[in-house]
Amino acid sequence: MIQFTQPQIIIEGISLNLGIAHGQAYMYDPENIEDRSLTTKQKEKIFLDAVQKAVEICSSNLRYWQEKNHELILVQKALLQDVTWQQRIIEKINLGANIIEAITLVLNDLDIAFGRESFWQARFQEVKGITQLVRQCLTNKEVSFDKVKPIVLCAKTISPIEMMQFDQANLVGLVVEDSSFISHGMIIARSRKIPVVGGVIELKKFINNNDQLLIDGDLGRIYVRPQKAVIANYDSTKKVAPTNSGIKSINSSEKIAVISRDGIAVDLYINANISEDLNCLERPIIKGVGLYRTEIPFMMSERWPDVDTQTRLYLQVMNKAQEKFVVFRALDVGGDKTFQSIHKNFRETQSGWRNSRFTMQRPSLIRLQLRAMIRARVHCDYPNLPLHVMFPMITETQEMHFVRSLMKKELDREKNLGHSIPKEVKIGAMVEVSSIIFQLNKFLDLVDFISIGSNDLFQFFFAIDRADAVMSRRYDMLSSSFMQMLKTIVDQAKSKGIPVSLCGEMASRPIEAMALLGIGLRHFSINPSSIESIENMIQSLDVWSVQDCMNNCLSNDSLINKTSNLSIRQRITELAQIQQTQLS
């Protein structure tokens, strides 16, 4: 039989994470279980197989989870094996529903039947939990990954929780249709050092399951079925990494500060999302963790973890950081970070029930978290260091009063119980909702430090969804309006002596970070994968000249502005070329 091999094609997308990867395409489409053409008997079998798989997951969870969770897992197992529940779903399938529709319909029926009374609501949540598990077993094609060959996952979009689910060493690259540099899915991909190309429209038209893919995350380019010569060229010129090797090894003579060519010291901290991120704390130039996203480690949990579980995690982080400080951000759920155990009654929107609003509704959740942080600081190997806690999404000064009162209550509670408390507690806030910028004067009196969350600030300022690929490219973070706003925050914080840093992804990009130095920012919290490029940029830059350039760009003086029609991005890029600033 004659075999036709399809030719190589090249797709130009956008770079969402740097690096080169070569592997087999895996088309991931969780919503698409094409079972309409199946017979009811076949659907029934797929459903029962998924139930069986969910039961097996519960059994293996019993081995891994602590004993106090056993009861919950046993309840889940019993519910899954409940023949009446299974039969109801099979009845719906027999009436013509597909599998996902059938399990959703039965769940909806039960929601109405159980009513709102709290005992029955708790039972309903248990059924909802197992429904979710079965859905995952039906849709989570991760289980059929080849566990050996390098895989390049191709998907419409990837949420942070999916990024955590695909925690396999042989996942070497990602291709996505719709995602942006600042979406949480991409932030986690960056932590895992997985090259990503985005902005590929209708990728199913060009890529088939099992196609060989070579992706160049630096250029935002995909080679589908690459020719041998292309692979050889990449092999010899650029590193094709089936599994990414991570950060550069530590050089014992490394300096302890990052100093610009004209002698300005810049403090670099890291954003920590997964435990591997903490490894770079061993590098002397990294001062600590400027943003520890506490919600990420627990994203995969069926239930929000108890105080002891949280205390153990925070204590491990503090011990790993040793003398360096760690800013623990209080729970920031909502938007694209949703939790089964928390979000049952809320719509998943970027501007909805996110952090401080949510906290005011469910203060007990945050109080338990603060309790765990307090205990971790007291019992870790470095109990004399201050505890740094930062609250996200503060929108009104009132909310700052509220979260401070929660911290006070927790400290008082520990004292009343005869427990020790940290020697010092520093309470900070993220500036990431534009309304707070109009209350800066009062707000800065209520905080010990601030960190600018440019990812969210960008979406709220320009009224866009941060994960939307098209919209996030429509506006520029280096536009004069956005930069002017950032300068206002930096100037006011400095004038009040409040330490200010920026922990959004923009500080991890050399051109953007140059502009931030130009508006006077000296503390950056960055993605660990960007340490080298930001360090190189700073060391090869005269800060005064970029400061001069930014003053000109943001000046209201039309005479000064008339000297150039270029955008801030163009002017900073030009300056980098003149100064031979290293941008990678």
Cα–Cα distance measured from residue 15 to residue 199, given in angstroms and rounded to the nearest whole number: 9
Of 399 and 456, which CB lies nearer to Mg ion in the complex structure?
Answer: 456
Cα–Cα distance measured from residue 523 to residue 120, given in angstroms and rounded to the nearest whole number: 50
> Regarding beta strands 449-452 and 171-176, do their DSSP bridges make them parallel or antiparallel, or are they unpaired?
unpaired
> Regarding beta strands 425-431 and 265-272, do their DSSP bridges make them parallel or antiparallel, or are they unpaired?
unpaired
**454 contacts ligand PEP (rule: CB under 6 A):** yes
**211 contacts ligand PEP (rule: CB under 6 A):** no
- Bridge-partner residues for 101, per DSSP? none
Residue 503's binding partner out of Mg ion, ligand PEP, none, with CB under 5 to 8 Å set by partner kind: ligand PEP
Residue 472's binding partner out of ligand PEP, Mg ion, none, with CB under 5 to 8 Å set by partner kind: none
Residue 293's binding partner out of ligand PEP, Mg ion, none, with CB under 5 to 8 Å set by partner kind: ligand PEP
Binding residues for ligand PEP, total number by CB under 6 A: 10
Q: Which of 44, 211, 414, 456 binds ligand PEP (CB under 6 A)?
A: 456
Using CB under 6 A as the binding rule, the residues of this chain from 281 to 320 that contact ligand PEP are: 291, 293
**Part of the chain binding ligand PEP (CB under 6 A), chosen from 56-64, 383-391, 396-404, 450-458:** 450-458
Binding mask of the shown chain, residues 296 to 325, with x at each position contacting Mg ion by CB under 5 A: ------------------------------
* Least distance to Mg ion, CB of residue 296, Å: 12
**Part of the chain binding Mg ion (CB under 5 A), chosen from 65-73, 133-141, 353-361, 429-437:** 429-437
Cα–Cα distance measured from residue 372 to residue 369, given in angstroms and rounded to the nearest whole number: 5
**455 contacts ligand PEP (rule: CB under 6 A):** yes
Cα–Cα distance measured from residue 213 to residue 202, given in angstroms and rounded to the nearest whole number: 16
* Least distance to ligand PEP, CB of residue 321, Å: 19
Beta strand spans in 330-473 (E): 387-391, 425-431, 449-452
Of 305 and 453, which CB lies nearer to Mg ion in the complex structure?
Answer: 453
**Part of the chain binding ligand PEP (CB under 6 A), chosen from 73-81, 320-328, 367-375, 451-459:** 451-459
* Least distance to ligand PEP, CB of residue 309, Å: 21
Residue type, 516: L
Name the closest residue to Mg ion (Cβ): 456
- φ and ψ at 302, to 5 degrees? -70, -35
* Least distance to Mg ion, CB of residue 430, Å: 6
**185 contacts Mg ion (rule: CB under 5 A):** no
584: tokens are 């990678």
Q: Judge whether 136 and 161 are in contact, CB under 8 Å.
A: no
224: tokens are 């589908």
347: tokens are 């719509």
Question: What is the total residue count of the chain?
Answer: 584
Cα–Cα distance measured from residue 278 to residue 380, given in angstroms and rounded to the nearest whole number: 16
* Least distance to ligand PEP, CB of residue 525, Å: 8
* Least distance to Mg ion, CB of residue 351, Å: 12
Of 26 and 181, which CB lies nearer to ligand PEP in the complex structure?
Answer: 181
Cα–Cα distance measured from residue 359 to residue 343, given in angstroms and rounded to the nearest whole number: 12
* Least distance to Mg ion, CB of residue 557, Å: 34
> Regarding beta strands 265-272 and 9-12, do their DSSP bridges make them parallel or antiparallel, or are they unpaired?
unpaired
Q: Which of 453, 510, 518, 528 binds Mg ion (CB under 5 A)?
A: 453
**456 contacts Mg ion (rule: CB under 5 A):** yes
Q: What is each CA distance from 261 to 516, 542, 544, in whole angstroms?
A: 16, 5, 10
Nearest to residue 173, comparing CAs of 23, 11, 13? 23
Binding mask of the shown chain, residues 319 to 358, with x at each position contacting ligand PEP by CB under 6 A: -------------x--------------------------
**504 contacts ligand PEP (rule: CB under 6 A):** yes
**Part of the chain binding ligand PEP (CB under 6 A), chosen from 74-82, 121-129, 259-267, 447-455:** 447-455
* Least distance to ligand PEP, CB of residue 291, Å: 6
**DSSP for residue 269:** E
Cα–Cα distance measured from residue 506 to residue 536, given in angstroms and rounded to the nearest whole number: 16
Cα–Cα distance measured from residue 221 to residue 21, given in angstroms and rounded to the nearest whole number: 11
575: tokens are 């300056």
* Least distance to ligand PEP, CB of residue 274, Å: 13
Q: Judge whether 19 and 240 are in contact, CB under 8 Å.
A: no
If residue 560 lies in a helix (H) or strand (E), which one and from where to where?
Answer: helix 558-562
Of 150 and 504, which CB lies nearer to Mg ion in the complex structure?
Answer: 504
* Least distance to ligand PEP, CB of residue 554, Å: 21
Cα–Cα distance measured from residue 397 to residue 500, given in angstroms and rounded to the nearest whole number: 17
Residue 454's binding partner out of ligand PEP, Mg ion, none, with CB under 5 to 8 Å set by partner kind: ligand PEP
- Tokens 């099979």 correspond to 90
Binding residues for Mg ion, total number by CB under 5 A: 3
Cα–Cα distance measured from residue 30 to residue 105, given in angstroms and rounded to the nearest whole number: 19
**Part of the chain binding ligand PEP (CB under 6 A), chosen from 66-74, 95-103, 166-174, 452-460:** 452-460
Q: Judge whether 93 and 40 are in contact, CB under 8 Å.
A: yes
If residue 214 lies in a helix (H) or strand (E), which one and from where to where?
Answer: strand 212-216
Q: Which of 217, 290, 453, 518 binds ligand PEP (CB under 6 A)?
A: 453
List of residues contacting ligand PEP (CB under 6 A): 291, 293, 332, 432, 453-456, 503-504
List of residues contacting Mg ion (CB under 5 A): 432, 453, 456
